[in-house]
Structure 1
């Protein structure tokens, strides 16, 4: 069953002159699929990710996630939708250094406000346990290594049980050991927990081991 459907997505940049960066892109992603989005710099993959994540609304075409049509929705609706349905893992972890690991993971769920603080804390500990980070829950996030911080960022992305996790170069700031660890975590999330993951990556090893590689060139999908 497709959790994401994009149909004829086109996107233009207008500075310094008009340029078409996405050219009628069609993409369907099934639930529980681990997809790597690849291509040379400037091919349009990061722009496509921003459209798929609903953060960029200036495009032509149709976008649907979890059965909800998102094209032409207003920003307040999209912000709430993202928090509930999409988890984000970036190249940098963006943890708040003045907060503990547990507090960082809890933040998106506290913002959503659909559960009590006690329920959210229990759920955050559960997600940290999946990531092998439960023993660090009460530590300040600034005291962790880079690899540990990225695992906490993944736990934070999971806290609201999103339909999709979107990763923007999730291993781009990590050494080989921690890159492999993040890949193994993503693989377990998809194959054990049926979590859908879409990750933009330049890491060839990461991409080759994913379930599906979608390659872009010159604003179009040319493979996958």
Structure 2
């Protein structure tokens, strides 16, 4: 079965101007299909994080085209991009960015409350569903500050899933985790990809993590190597 193309770029280029003019991305053309688990790899300075931030629409200062779910997003206004991100992209960062004064359930609910498409009761139901998927339903009412690092990162994945986004984007999502919790996060991503047809694009320095993904895109000197 031919999988739908979820994300596509056409000759992306990006310059940085400080301390001097420097081309960080060079002629990046790629497609990512629904359900693909893609790892972006490369040494520091290779351009992989820069590429992720362009793909995420958080960086709009680039040349070329970015198409998400069949829609050209290049040139859209910031408020349109913010809505698109909240609806179609879930983010998992190296640091979990949970609000310590909130419990797990409240943290997971935040993007759905922001989106405003569901009732409070429905949002809570969805949050419990996502925490269950992460094996954390029993900890839903525990303050985020009382969780282990691995548990906190799984809560952040549940939060990324709350709006059923088309794409999960990860920026070193296992960078702060030990090997046991890294394996757990990988298994979660693999399950999302294989069982739920979720598209995942994640930057990683971890070669073992990347090697188990469906596809590796290696960056070198701003190009796909």
Q: TM-score, normalised by structure 2?
A: 0.98
Which of 15, 31, 34 is residue 34 of structure 2 equivalent to? 31
TM superposition shift of 1:31:
0.1
Aligned to 1:13: 16
Which of 48, 53, 60 is residue 50 of structure 1 equivalent to? 53
How far apart, in 1, do the equivalents of 2:115 and 2:54 lie? 22
| SS of structure 1 residue aligned to 2:121 | helix
How far apart, in 2, do the equivalents of 1:14 and 1:131 lie? 42
Deviations 1:168-209 (A, max 9, x none): 000000000000000000000000000000000000110000
How far apart, in 2, do the equivalents of 1:102 and 1:58 lie? 35
Aligned to 1:75: 78
Which of 128, 137, 140 is residue 137 of structure 1 equivalent to? 140
Tell me which stretches of 4 or more aligned residues in structure 1 moved more than 2 Å: none
Which of 184, 189, 195 is residue 187 of structure 2 equivalent to? 184
TM superposition shift of 1:66:
1.1
Q: TM-score, normalised by structure 1?
A: 0.98
| SS of structure 2 residue aligned to 1:7 | strand
Aligned to 2:215: 212
| SS of structure 2 residue aligned to 1:180 | helix
Unaligned runs of 5+ in 1: none
TM superposition shift of 1:161:
0.3
Aligned to 2:130: 127
How far apart, in 2, do the equivalents of 1:153 and 1:68 lie? 27
TM superposition shift of 1:68:
1.5
| SS of structure 2 residue aligned to 1:28 | strand
How far apart, in 2, do the equivalents of 1:104 and 1:66 lie? 27
How far apart, in 2, do the equivalents of 1:38 and 1:185 lie? 20
TM superposition shift of 1:77:
0.6
Deviations 1:35-65 (A, max 9, x none): 0000011010000000000000000000011
Aligned to 1:62: 65
Between Structure 1 and Structure 2, how many residues are aligned? 222
How big is the alpha-carbon RMSD for the aligned residues of Structure 1 and Structure 2?
A: 0.4
Unaligned runs of 5+ in 2: none
